[in-house]
Chains A and B, each alone.
Chain A
Amino acid sequence: SQTIHQWPATLVQPVGSPLSLECTVEGTSNPNLYWYRQAAGRGLQLLFYSVGIGQISSEVPQNLSASRPQDRQFILSSKKLLLSDSGFYLCAGRWGTEKLFFGSGTQLSVL
């Protein structure tokens, strides 16, 4: 079965600090992987998606970046966090069907 692992569950970072959130997945190989952000009062915003190793598509211009060094690993990074980067970050995967499986999320607070 397909499972998405995300950590940590909560993270508090100062403005200007770097960020690295890791997502690993279990299941059939070659999933499409996604990073979403959910801010209070707003819908899920797609940040990045990847259809394979080293292939990243960005949906929103920002100071975040993503990488996919392995088939089952998807990383969200920033060199310098902004206050506006606060939010609930979700990793998701899709295997062949249109249904997305989500991880448990990381609540990021930038202070």
Chain B
Amino acid sequence: DIQMTQSPSSLSASVGDRVIITCRASQDISNYLAWYQQKLGKVPKLLIYEASTLQSGVPSRFSGSGSGTDFTLTISSLQPEDVATYFCQKYNNSPRTFGQGTTVEIK
């Protein structure tokens, strides 16, 4: 099975900072990569799919890039409401493995 590895596992940044989270697949998954945001005690929310397509209603400060095995999620200017855990996921086939998550906090 394909493994999904995120880094870092957690980070602390200041409001307005650029934040980058990476996700690596153990095999080529083309662009079948999604990013989810989960705030504390809430249900995960789809942010980005097809590696770089923003889900409707998601602020434009979020962006995604990559293809094949290496992907990134970028928050161009961190806002207090972005405090959450972010998960990547492959969805080309089952098992639809998630990364282990990256927790983003405000410094």
The reply to whether chain A is a binding partner of chain B is no
Interface residues, chain A, with chain B CB atoms under 8 Å away: none
Interface residues, chain B, with chain A CB atoms under 8 Å away: none
